[in-house]
Chain A
């Protein structure tokens, strides 16, 4: 089965500059330049691969990473929650990087953040980095879910290509997709992207301190790059 997604920018008034609305399985979703996806029907924000505490993990291994990364990422969420009146956030895995990075300081910071969003319901589809996420998730009142998790018509996963009992369209992360674009005059540029295949949409990694993996999209696959503050369709299809 395949429900070819369609892009459509006309319908929805988007209150986030640079965002782009597309249709997946007849559902309108909004691709955000903050590297997140919003589903207006359920006021739900999807964030993949936040990798909270990654800088802290590095620091605890005596690698000096500057501070301010967590603040930036949290304030990006604040902005989106405010602009889009988000009621539910679903993290598509890899919420934390490693427990060594969730220091007391970061944990307190996140708790403070949580108290400013008391009414928000937050879930986490557990990813491969989330093996020991339980204590921090409990503290932050985040509901833990296992993949695949159904939210019709979508299945929510961390890993792409998960075998499903019932076929359906998957929203997932894990890959940190980026694509290389080529232009005339032998130009090249590499940008993080949303990667839309015929049975799944892979979200870019949300965390500011995350790397990318270059994908090589097929002719019928959709690629939406994040160019500075704008989501732009890069593929011919979709």
Chain B
């Protein structure tokens, strides 16, 4: 260990706080001072900030030992990337704490989309010593020519909560931005902070490929798990995801702790639970709050501060509180419904018990009966330390196209140099010259087919330099940066202009003025939709609708799925070990009676004839994404044997194939049907029919700049260039079928929408298994959730005209709105 005065000063500050530096902290300082990059990981998360933050300060103090430190503020040295701008101010607080304690002339500032333009302008002239920002705001910085000077002396980039970004396109964008920063300063060090993943080595490589170390900060911390069980199993339904019948039990559990975080899986569930808890116990008014990503930032900040100050008894939230600074008063975490993954459950549990010596307390609440099995399985997986991995996105060309335009705005680039730079990012390490050429063609000419059109030309080539020349183009591009994740959202405001939050356009556009809905814990009435804002007023009576949000449909992880299959296998053998399993026994016995309990060696298929048609329920237990793919492929393969139209439904446990005529399920559903021969072909064939790539194209079109969402505050001028991504997809598929972005849509469906790798493994497993075919007379406990699933895929081998002949049109008697087009 390096001994120096500077380290002594840090140690002294720790002592004042009555802290003792952990060994992983001093280890990190050391590695940093040796010029290394790295990744600090832990499953519970605490002390990571002070593992890395003192390091650049020590270095600076050593370098400026003999100078008068008071005189000059340190130049921009550290860039701190945070995945959520809401975390920025808390981060700033803790970073300032140390700097002030040491009395160093370091300025620490925030730059996110919330930062005022006056501050941004000041930063343009004079950067702080440490800038806290988001990947999008960093990318924006890179779109200005000044970045080359501003950022070239950067010594350290800290990437906070890297596991959250790693497997997303925002993560890919971060990788590209890091590649640029490293090009400006080859000795730049990058340090990531992450929750524990099973592929930490790969995760490290995405941040720094050379001279980098992994540091584990796992301090001993115990977690106590319990599952909330009602009086009898009959109180838990077979289907559904809300679990509101458990409200009394949850309200009692909330009573028992000082502060409780209640985690739900979706925003609509969050709204419902907030309402239900308040209705059940009106005394909670003022002590219970709501927190999710659609709420206005001010509201969220208020809630977060109130938790920290111990003013709240309970907060109902979504994954929006998964991340972030620690809330000391939180004693207990309640998880409503499936946690979907082992790591996620652990992370949520880790949000409680931050008082010294306290343990994490996690209470699981089943929303339907099978979740009892899930909770039991999850606890076993945690004991055995079977945690998920997260993989980076593979060279998405839409993000590359966006980044290249960013660089073209920020002073331009030359082809060979940029090729090397891009390839230095882990995600793009296998980028081919052909792909780069295509992407350059796309941003310069709009793709090969367009080269004769002079009205396009986004990026110009002048003396080998790729550059955006029109300032209007760069202005518009900057607006598009950062829209990677956001769906088209509409702000919800009161008539006096007070902002409540934002909702997906798809929900709002289905409402008519006068209709009521619940949002942000309030009953609202839509007054009108104007200027991309939904104007609302408070509604007196009870709500009618709760918004449904896109997303939040995370699949059951492969680790947890496997643990569930094992658990069910045990149940099939009559072994019920855990309290959850013992409690679930009557439910599972009923499944055994009406059908069978799925075991590990065979695949259960239930066949049912109902008024709706012929159903086959298949239970691979592989998570909803894999099932979505399997359902499409299996339906496709059956449709090749017999002419029929299928609709499919999936959930995390299995899938349903429903046909309007008898497709002889028993004869056609065999292990061979799950063979992965011709898999790729069959996927693409069935995908075309089910339009998955068309849906996936929505995000790609937005990232690649094909959808322009408009200037803030002026919706009118852009109406001429609005087109739905579906229409764009159709036009590309017909007129430019070799467009690589279409291929990317297919590829993304495979990788992220269908988890192709996992699907192949599942198919291997199934082809080796036996099919356990059961004719059921009525709906079994396992099949009910699939029966009621409303989101359905479709596949057909019939001619469209034949299908329509069979269809009867749903007749509505409404006034046809003939408004604008």
Contacts and interface: CB of A to CB of B under 8 A. Distances in A.
B804 A227 contact: yes
B449 interface: yes
Interface stretch (A5-13, A65-73, A77-85, A141-149): A65-73
Interface stretch (A21-29, A36-44, A116-124, A212-220): A212-220
B809 A179 contact: yes
Interface in B448-470: 449-450, 452-458
B85 to A, nearest CB: 28
B510 to A, nearest CB: 11
A62 B724 CA distance: 16
Which residue of A160, A186, A210 has the most chain B CB atoms within 10 A of its CB atom? A186
A143 to B, nearest CB: 24
A103 B454 CA distance: 9
Contacts of A60: 455-456
A195 B816 CA distance: 11
B660 A184 contact: yes
A9 B816 CA distance: 28
B38 interface: no
B789 to A, nearest CB: 10
Given A67-B450, A185-B612, A209 B456 contact: no
Interface in A15-65: 49, 55-65
Contacts of B814: 216, 218
Contacts of B727: 209-211
A198 interface: no
Interface in A96-154: 97-98, 100, 103, 105
Contacts of B811: 217-219, 235-236
B812 A218 contact: yes
A160 B801 CA distance: 29
A100 B453 CA distance: 13
Given A185-B647, A189-B800, A180 B731 contact: no
Interface string B781-798: 000000000001010100
Interface stretch (B99-107, B559-567, B732-740): B732-740
Which residue of B453, B473, B732 has the most chain A CB atoms within 10 A of its CB atom? B453
Contact of A183 (B454, B456, B660): B660
Given A66-B447, A67-B735, A184 B612 contact: yes
A17 to B, nearest CB: 12
A182 B808 contact: yes
B721 A57 contact: yes
Interface in A157-175: 159-161, 174-175
Contacts of B732: 66
A181 interface: yes
B446 interface: yes
A144 B351 CA distance: 69
Contacts of B452: 67, 105
Contacts of A234: 804, 807, 809
Nearest to B807: A183
B398 to A, nearest CB: 12
Nearest to A57: B720
A183 B808 contact: yes
A12 B660 CA distance: 36
B29 interface: no
A209 B659 CA distance: 34
B473 A62 contact: yes
Interface string A196-236: 01000000000011110101111100010101101010111
A159 B646 contact: no
Which residue of B457, B723, B739, B821 has the most chain A CB atoms within 10 A of its CB atom? B821
A187 B647 contact: yes
B623 interface: no
A69 B807 contact: no
Which residue of A59, A175, A197, A219 has the most chain B CB atoms within 10 A of its CB atom? A59
B708 A186 contact: no
B810 A180 contact: yes
A112 to B, nearest CB: 16
A103 B456 CA distance: 11
Given A66-B447, A66-B739, A218-B814, A187 B809 contact: no
Contact of A66 (B454, B731, B821): B731
B800 A98 contact: no
B706 interface: yes
Given A184-B806, A218-B811, A160 B818 contact: yes
A68 to B, nearest CB: 4
B455 A66 contact: no
A181 B807 contact: yes
Nearest to B658: A185
Contact of A189 (B612, B708, B804): B804
A176 B265 CA distance: 38
Contact of B708 (A56, A61, A179, A182): A61
Which residue of A161, A179, A184, A208 has the most chain B CB atoms within 10 A of its CB atom? A184
Contacts of B723: 58, 209, 211
B681 interface: no
Contacts of B613: 184-185
A64 B446 contact: yes
A58 B800 CA distance: 32
Nearest to B442: A64
A63 B720 contact: no
B335 interface: no
Nearest to A161: B818
A159 B801 CA distance: 30
B803 interface: yes
A208 B731 CA distance: 8
A14 B479 CA distance: 52
Contacts of A161: 818
B801 A181 contact: no
A173 B786 CA distance: 42
Given A98-B720, A185-B613, A64 B658 contact: no
B705 A227 contact: no
B645 interface: yes
Contact of B659 (A63, A66, A69, A185): A185
Contacts of A188: 792, 794
Contacts of A189: 794, 800, 803-804, 807
Which residue of B455, B613, B812 has the most chain A CB atoms within 10 A of its CB atom? B455
B813 interface: yes
B818 A232 contact: no
Contact of A223 (B706, B809, B818): B809
A187 B807 contact: yes
A56 B706 contact: no
Nearest to A177: B816
Contacts of A176: 821
Contacts of A65: 446, 706, 728, 731
B813 A219 contact: yes
B812 A187 contact: no
Contacts of A235: 809, 811
Contact of A63 (B705, B794, B807, B809): B705
B15 interface: no
A230 B720 CA distance: 30
Given A64-B446, A174-B818, A182 B705 contact: no
Interface of A: 49, 55-69, 72, 97-98, 100, 103, 105, 159-161, 174-176, 179-189, 191, 195, 197, 208-211, 213, 215-219, 223, 225, 227-228, 230, 232, 234-236
Given A55-B731, A64-B456, A208-B731, 8 more contacts: A60-B455, A60-B456, A61-B476, A64-B446, A66-B731, A176-B821, A184-B807, A218-B811
16 contacts: A56-B455, A58-B721, A62-B457, A64-B705, A68-B449, A68-B735, A98-B720, A105-B452, A181-B804, A185-B613, A186-B658, A197-B816, A216-B816, A227-B800, A232-B805, A234-B807
Interface of B: 442, 446-447, 449-450, 452-458, 473, 476, 612-613, 645-647, 658-660, 705-708, 720-721, 723-724, 727-728, 731-732, 734-736, 739, 792, 794, 796, 799-801, 803-814, 816, 818, 821
A-B interface, 6 closest residue pairs, ranked by CB to CB distance from nearest: A64-B446, A66-B736, A183-B807, A66-B735, A216-B812, A184-B660
